[in-house]
Amino acid sequence: MMLYIQTNVNDKIKHMSKIVISSRINQAQTKLSREQTQAIGLLSIGTFLEYFDLMLYVHMAVLLNELFFEPSNPRSASLVTAFAFCTTFVFRPIGAFIFGHIGDKSGRKATVIITTGIMALSCVTMANTPTYAQIGIGASIIVTICRILQGMSSVGEVIGAELYITETTNPPIQYPAVTFITVASVIGSTAALGMASLVTSFGLSWRIAFWIGAIISIVGGLARRTLRETPEFVDAKFKLQQKEQKDNVDRKELDAGSIVHEKVNKTSIAYSFIINCMWPICFYFTYIHCGNLLKSGFHYTAEQVIHNNFIVSIVHLIGLLLLTYLSYKFYPLKIIKIKLVIFVIFLLFSPHIFNNITESYHLFSLQIFLVLFSVDSVPAVSIFFKHFPIFKRYTYNSVIYAFSRSLMYVITSFAIIYLTKYFGHYGLSIVMIPISIGCAFGVLHFEKLEKKAGNYPS
């Protein structure tokens, strides 16, 4: 299959190169062409479907964990919840290496099609898996494997879509265009919450939700077959072929050239990793930790927690849409700096705030604040991508994304249980403050690179 993909890409490089105009790479772009709009639409729909399927189990975990894992005492139940949550993310680095390699060798298009197929297969399997009461530990194993596959494929999906748009558009329209992929992922997560709320509210079978997810994933995968490879990737491939023909050199010797083995800035890797560590903390804090507080402190049922988080997700979506618009008007790194200052101030007072929560709507208000002002690589994703070499961009950013998610979800899932037990609400700050400081230095690093490249606005 890999040979077929590679051959197919090589056959089209010469034809595609005719539509690539290298002089446009650094030109400002304020509007999207028809072809770019269609590509963004297809990629956004695919990302929506991927995250609908991926987050469906996460947001229904309070219900599904009781069906697929052995019933146990409350302390063990917390660990089971953390385990079920982490399996979605802990194997992501493996998926990052696999799909990153495919993306950098064979093209961006191939990965976004393959990942959609894997997600559809996982959903079909979970929709037909018997419960723990029916087949015992076998149910736990099957569901865990499906969650691992979903987590692995989601890495190639989101990075592939964002990278595709980064390489087919130019600033300033590039910033909101790439950010819209994140919007699509949040819409998918919100839809998953809405589906979970609908299923639990009306007593419908939870299997219906997974069947819907499987069907729309298949449709999305088929639609993506119409995408073309990104001009920047095709242009780079074409230059390699030209060099090979001109110099009559061996392929191995050509691959040893600077364009293929261009060095990656190690500092950029480190800071990109730290910046990507921020959202996993904020996500777990907002949806999982606060959801558990609603259950333990205010006696919310699983259905009520799902409904509450659905409303929070809608607010998150509205805030992200506003952020998408602002990224066109204001330079993305400046937006992140402002959000970071607000978020750090909140962290300093967060223990006091938590200690004075007496009503459920206080906690709800806190969740709203977190989804609006939490820090992430959005809306500066394309800026970070551009500071990685073209033939290493997919692999490095996929691995950074995967490792940051895996590490932080594991740390937050298990550490928060014990940190809050021994340090109360101050335990949250032990994890969040150091990452926030590192994120600030990371933003300053990429700001310096942008100024050096002449991209930073005066």
pLDDT in tens, 118-137: 888 888 888 888 888 888 88
Spans of all domains in the chain: 34-231+263-453
Give tens-digit pLDDT for 372-418: 999 999 999 999 999 999 888 989 999 998 889 888 877 877 777 77
Kindly state the average pLDDT of the residues 262-281.
Answer: 92
- What is the CATH number that goes with domain 34-231+263-453? 1.20.1250.20
- 319 or 293: which leads in pLDDT: 319
pTM of the model: 0.79
3-state SS, the chain, equals: CHHHHHHHHHHHHHHHHHHCCHHHCCCCECCCCHHHHHHHHHHHHHHHHHHHHHHHHHHCHHHHHHHHCCCCCHHHHHHHHHHHHHCCCCCHHHHHHHHHHHHHHCCHHHHHHHHHHHHHHHHHHHHHCCCHHHHCHHHHHHHHHHHHHHHHHHHHHHHHHHHHHHCCCCCECHHHHHHHHHHHHHHHHHHHHHHHHHHHHCCCCHHHHHHHHHHHHHHHHHHHHHCCCCHHHHHHHHHHHHHHHHHCCCHHHHHCCCCCCCCCCHHHHHHHHHHHCHHHHHHHHHHHHHHHHHHHHHCCCHHHHHHHHHHHHHHHHHHHHHHHHHHHHCCHHHHHHHHHHHHHHHHHHHHHHHHCCCCHHHHHHHHHHHHHHCCCCCCCHHHHHHCCCCCCHHHHHHHHHHHHHHHHHHHHHHHHHHHHHHHCCHHHHHHHHHHHHHHHHHHHHHHHHHHHHCCCCC
pLDDT at 328: 95
- 75 or 234: which leads in pLDDT: 234
- 49 or 341: which leads in pLDDT: 341
- 291 or 4: which leads in pLDDT: 291
Confidence of residue 74 (pLDDT cuts 50, 70, 90): low
